[in-house]
Every structure is written in C-alpha cells, then in structure tokens.
Amino acid sequence: MAGHDHDHLHDHPHDHPHDHSHGSELSETQLRVRALETVLTEKGYIDPAALDAIIDAYETKIGPRNGSVVVARAWTDPAFKKALLADASKAVASMGHLSRVGDHLVAVENTPQRHNMIVCTLCSCYPWEVLGLPPVWYKSAPYRSRAVKDPRGVLDDFGITLPKNTEVRVWDSTAETRFIVLPMRPAGTEGWSEEKLADLVTRDSMIGTGLPLNPAELDSKVK
C-alpha cells in the first residue's frame, strides 16, 4: 500500500505524481489514522478536546525552527551551503537534529537576481521535516492557483515588493520532491552566531512568501 501515487492516474499538464484520487488531500495513512481516532473517540478511549495539544506538539517537534537552523548554518558555513544546494536531504540529515529527512528535499537559493517561491498546485505537499505544519493559506485554492499565474501579486499580498529586475521563480512541489527556499542573509548581521541568525529566519521566508527579519525587526519582535 503506497501512501502516494495509488488508485487511478489523472491527466495533468505536467508530470505530478500525487495521490489525487480525492477532492481533498487525505492519504491512505491519514485516512487510517482518522478512522482510528474517530472510533476511539466514539468509544471513549481518547479525548478529542485535547487535539490542540497534539498540534502544539507537532509545532515544537517538527516546526519551522528545524529549517531556520539549516538556513543559519548555510549563511555561516560555505561548505555546508554548497552541500545543502547539492543535496538538501543529505545535508540536513548530516546536521543530526532530525532522525529522518524525506527523500529529495531541494534547497533553492535566493539571490539579488532571483527570488524563489514554493507551492503545491495540486494539493499541499510541503517539506514537513524542516517547516512543520503548512500554514492554512498554503493549502488554500487561491494561493495554489495564483502562486503560478501571478507570483508578484501574491508577494504583494504578503507585503513583499521585489526590485523589478529580480526574477520570481515558482517551484511546484510533488510528493517526491519538496523545496525549501534559502533566503538571502540580511545586511547588518556580520559576525552573528548561528543561533542568533536562526531567529531571523521566518517560516514564510523559507516558503518564499516572506523575507527574513532584519536586525531592527528582530529587536522590535523581542521587545
């Protein structure tokens, strides 16, 4: 029983091997977990009111901090950055803070010439292992359709205006290949420790719908 690419295949304009047998995106494992959860709740074995606590646990255990640390390392260690851009799954696994990293994680680097954004046009494939739970808007139809057609418009909605000559490149995730954006290191952070740099790296900056905080923004966030 494969989690993805089962049941019937769909005609897509591009090769996008998802599980798309449903109107919404529940994988076979998600269905099994939901079935268990519902049955156990109805029988009084578990307390559904505490589901929020589990969500909290996801956020701390598989939250975007994992990704922030990876970005901060790439900003300070050129050899790591090279390894990350060559094979992100391997580079992230080498940091040892995660016991497992999904196959084919690809890091895409922002430069003054190019800004990267990630999307999953057909469902909500997302690099869980480095970013945690996807935000609600990432899964929403408007983001999924507009990110490709009008990426600058989407960035505008997020309050991001890029220089006119910066190209915007949109990466469409699949079940097999997920992306993380390596944002540009903010100015004025020379000599900062990895730990302090990681505080600048927001979740959205690793999706490409945001930029890292600058030192002044970090100050105001702390205060």
Partner 1 sequence: MTIDPAEARRASEAVPSIPCDAEGPVFREPWEAQAFALTLSLYDRGLFQWPEWATVLGDEIKKAQAAGDPDTGETYYRHWLAALERIVAEKGVTDTGTLRKYYDAWDHAADRTPHGSPIELKPEDFR
Q: Are 204 and 217 in contact (CB under 8 A)?
A: no
Question: Which of residues 154 and 211 has its CB atom nearest to partner 1 in the complex?
Answer: 154
- Which span sits near partner 1 by CB under 8 A: 128-136, 190-198, 199-207, 208-216? 128-136
In the block, tokens 């408007």 appear at 142
Residue list 50-69, contact with partner 1 (CB under 8 A): 50-51, 53-54, 57-58, 61-62
Q: Are 99 and 175 in contact (CB under 8 A)?
A: no
- Which span sits near partner 1 by CB under 8 A: 23-31, 70-78, 154-162, 167-175? 23-31
124 belongs to the catalytic site: yes
Please report whether residue 22 would count as binding partner 1 according to CB under 8 A: yes
Radius of gyration of the chain (CA): 19
Please report whether residue 23 would count as binding partner 1 according to CB under 8 A: yes
27 belongs to the catalytic site: no
89 belongs to the catalytic site: no
How do beta strands 105-109 and 114-119 pair? Answer: unpaired
Tokens of 209: 């719908």
Please report whether residue 8 would count as binding partner 1 according to CB under 8 A: no
Given 68, 89, 120, 205, the catalytic residue: 120
Please report whether residue 148 would count as binding partner 1 according to CB under 8 A: no
CA distance 221 to 223: 6
In the block, tokens 């060559």 appear at 86
Which of 24, 113, 165, 220 binds partner 1 (CB under 8 A)? It is: 24
Given 68, 89, 123, 173, the catalytic residue: 123
Closest CA to 212 of 181, 180, 186: 186
Question: Is 117 exposed, middle or buried (CB count within 10 Å of its CB: 0-12, 13-18, 19+)?
Answer: buried
Q: Are 205 and 181 in contact (CB under 8 A)?
A: yes
Which active-site residues does the annotation give?
120, 123-125
List interacting residues with partner 1 (CB under 8 A): 3, 22-27, 29-40, 43, 45-47, 50-51, 53-54, 57-58, 61-62, 96-100, 102-103, 123, 128-129, 133, 136, 139-141, 144
